Amino acid sequence: MVSPSYGARDAPLRPAEPFEKFSPPLANGERPAEPGAPFPLRLPSKALVFGGAPLEEQPKNVDPLVLELVNTKVVERGPPVQWSDIAGQVSVKAAIEEELVWPILRPGTYSGTSHPLRTLLLFGPRGTGKTLLSRCISTQLGSTLLRLSGTTLLSTWKAEAEKILQTVFFVANCRQPAVVLITEAESLLAARAGEDGSQVSNLKSQLLSYLDNVATSSEQNVVVIGTTARPGSIDEASHRRFGTRLYIPPPDGAARRHILRQALAQQSCCLSERELAALAQRTESFSGAELLRLCQHAGAARRALTGPPTCYQDLEKAFCKVRPAASQKELDLFLEWDKMYGTRH
List residues binding ligand ADP (CB under 6 A): 1, 6, 86-89, 126-132, 227, 251, 255, 259, 288-289, 292
Least gap, CB of 145 to ligand ADP (angstroms): 13
Least gap, CB of 334 to ligand ADP (angstroms): 12
Least gap, CB of 246 to ligand ADP (angstroms): 12
| Residue among 89 and 217 whose Cβ is closer to ligand ADP | 89
Q: What is the spatial distance between Cα 168 and Cα 225, in angstroms, rounded to a whole number?
A: 13
DSSP labels for 177-234?
SEEEEEESTHHHHBGGGGSSSSHHHHHHHHHHHHHHHHHH-SS--EEEEEEES-GGGB
| Residue among 48 and 101 whose Cβ is closer to ligand ADP | 101
Q: What is the spatial distance between Cα 242 and Cα 285, in angstroms, rounded to a whole number?
A: 27
| Residue among 33 and 136 whose Cβ is closer to ligand ADP | 136
| Residue among 103 and 299 whose Cβ is closer to ligand ADP | 299
Residue 38, CB-side half-sphere exposure with 13 Å CA sphere: 12
Residue burial 130-158, b: 16+ Cβ < 10 Å; e: rest: bbbbbbbbbbbbbbbbbbbbbebbbeebe
Task: Please identify the residue of the shown chain whose CB is closest to the bound ligand ADP.
Answer: 288
3 beta partners: none
| Cα torsion 232, 234, 240, 244: sign | negative
Burial of 45 (0-12, 13-18, 19+ CB in 10 A): exposed
Least gap, CB of 128 to ligand ADP (angstroms): 4
Least gap, CB of 249 to ligand ADP (angstroms): 10
Least gap, CB of 254 to ligand ADP (angstroms): 11
Least gap, CB of 259 to ligand ADP (angstroms): 5
| Residue among 259 and 271 whose Cβ is closer to ligand ADP | 259
Q: Are strands 53-54 and 49-50 parallel, antiparallel or unpaired?
A: antiparallel
225 beta partners: 120, 181
| Residue among 182 and 259 whose Cβ is closer to ligand ADP | 259
228 beta partners: 123
What region does 129 belong to: left with phi over 0, alpha with psi -120 to 50, or beta?
left
Q: What is the spatial distance between Cα 342 and Cα 332, in angstroms, rounded to a whole number?
A: 14
| Residue among 226 and 251 whose Cβ is closer to ligand ADP | 251
